[in-house]
A and B are shown apart, each in its own frame.
Chain A
Amino acid sequence: MKNRQPAYRDEPTSSSRAVDRTPAPTAKNLKKRVPFAFAAVGALLALTACGGAVHADSASGPGSEPVSGGTLVYATGDTEPACLDPIVSGNVPQALVSTQYLEPLFFQDEKGEIGPWLAKSWKWSNDRLALDITVRSDVHFTDGQQLNAETIIKNVAYIKDPKTLSSTGILAVEKVASVEKIDEFTARLHLSEPDNALLEHFAQVWVPIQSQKALARGAEANCLSPVGTGPFKVESWSKQQEVVLTRNNEYHTPSPTAAHAGPAYLEKIIWRFLPDHAARFAALQSGEVDVIDVLQPQNAVAADADPALDTLIGSRPGHVVNLTLNTTEGVFTDVRVREAFVRSVDVDAALKSIFMSTVPRSNSVLSSITKFNRQNPEAYSTDVAKANRLLDEAGWTARDAEGYRIKDGVRLSTTAIQTEAVLVPVSVLEQFQHSAKAVGFELVISQEEPASFNAKRYAWEYGLSPLYYTKNSPSVLNIVYDSAHIPSVIKGGYHANNNGLTGPEAQDIDKALRLAATTGSEKQRGQLYAKAQQLIDKQYLSLPIFDQQTRLGFRSDVEGVKLLSPLGMPTFYDTWLDRS
Chain B
Amino acid sequence: MSTPRSLPTTVTDPEEAMTHSIQTTVLDTPPVRDVPPTPRAAADPSFTSTLVSTIGSLGPSIIVPLILLLGLIAAAVIPSVLTPSGPLDMNPAEAFTAPGAAHWFGTDESGRDVYSRVIHGARSSLLIGILATVIGLGLALVLGAIAGLGTRAVDFGVSRFLEVLFAFPGLLLALLVITILGPGVVTTTIGVGLSAAPGYARMIRSQVLSIRGSGYVEASIVQGKSRAFIIRHHILPNVAAPLFVLATLGVGQAIVWASSLSFLGLGATPPDPEWGSMLSLGRLYIGNAWWLTVFPGLFIVLSAATTTLLGHGIQRKLKDK
Residues of A at the B interface (CB closer than 8 Å) are 277-278, 281, 296, 298-299, 301-302, 346, 349-350, 352-354, 356, 426-427, 429-431, 433-434, 445, 447
Contact = CB atoms under 8 A, between A and B. Distances in A.
A338 to B, nearest CB: 23
A278 B282 CA distance: 11
Interface of B: 88, 90, 92-93, 95-96, 109-111, 265, 269-271, 281, 283-289
B110 A353 contact: yes
Contacts of B111: 353
A278 B286 contact: yes
Contacts of A301: 288
B292 to A, nearest CB: 11
A354 B281 CA distance: 12
B88 A427 contact: no
A434 B85 CA distance: 15
A349 B111 CA distance: 10
B288 A427 contact: no
A431 B89 CA distance: 10
A427 B286 contact: no
B92 A298 contact: no
B92 A430 contact: no
A430 B270 contact: yes
Contacts of B281: 427
B92 A445 contact: no
Q: Among the interface residues B93, B269, B270, which one has the most CB atoms of the partner chain A within 10 A?
A: B270
Contacts of A350: 92, 110
B95 A353 contact: yes
Contact of A302 (B92, B95, B96, B288): B288
Contacts of A356: 96
Contacts of A349: 92-93
Interface of A is mostly: helix
Contacts of B286: 278
A352 B269 CA distance: 24
Most buried by B among A281, A301, A354: A354
Interface core residue of A277, A350, A429 (most chain B CB under 10 Å): A350
A281 B286 CA distance: 11
Contact of A431 (B92, B269, B285, B287): B92
Contacts of A426: 270
A301 to B, nearest CB: 7
Nearest to A444: B269
Contacts of B271: 430, 433-434, 445
Contacts of B269: 445, 447
Given A352-B92, A354-B95, A445-B269, A299 B110 contact: no
A398 to B, nearest CB: 23
A15 to B, nearest CB: 19
Contact of B287 (A298, A427, A430, A447): A298
A281 B92 CA distance: 25
Nearest to A352: B92
B287 A434 contact: no
Contacts of A447: 265, 269-270
Contacts of B289: 298
Contacts of B110: 350, 353-354, 427, 430-431, 434
B96 to A, nearest CB: 7
Nearest to A282: B287
Contact of B284 (A298, A353, A434): A298
B109 A302 contact: no
A296 B284 contact: yes
A194 B88 CA distance: 54
Contacts of A277: 284
A181 B265 CA distance: 56
Contacts of B96: 353, 356
18 contacts: A278-B283, A278-B286, A298-B285, A298-B287, A298-B288, A299-B287, A302-B287, A302-B288, A349-B92, A353-B109, A353-B110, A427-B109, A427-B110, A430-B90, A431-B90, A431-B92, A434-B88, A447-B265
A421 to B, nearest CB: 13
The 5 lowest CB-CB distance pairs between A and B, nearest first, are: A353-B95, A353-B92, A349-B92, A430-B271, A298-B288
Given A431-B90, A431-B92, A445-B270, 11 more contacts: A278-B284, A278-B286, A281-B287, A352-B95, A354-B110, A356-B96, A429-B270, A430-B110, A430-B270, A447-B269, A447-B270
Contacts of B109: 353-354, 427
Contacts of B88: 434
A346 B284 contact: no
B147 to A, nearest CB: 39
A301 B96 CA distance: 13
Nearest to B287: A302
A147 to B, nearest CB: 46
Contacts of A434: 88, 90, 110, 271
A568 B289 CA distance: 31
A302 B286 CA distance: 11
A354 B289 CA distance: 12
A427 B292 CA distance: 14
A323 to B, nearest CB: 16
A352 B110 CA distance: 10
Contacts of A431: 90, 92, 110
A445 B96 CA distance: 23
A296 B109 CA distance: 13
Q: Which of A350, A433, A434 has the most CB of B within 10 A?
A: A434
Contacts of A278: 283-284, 286
A281 to B, nearest CB: 8
A353 B107 CA distance: 11
A301 B285 CA distance: 11
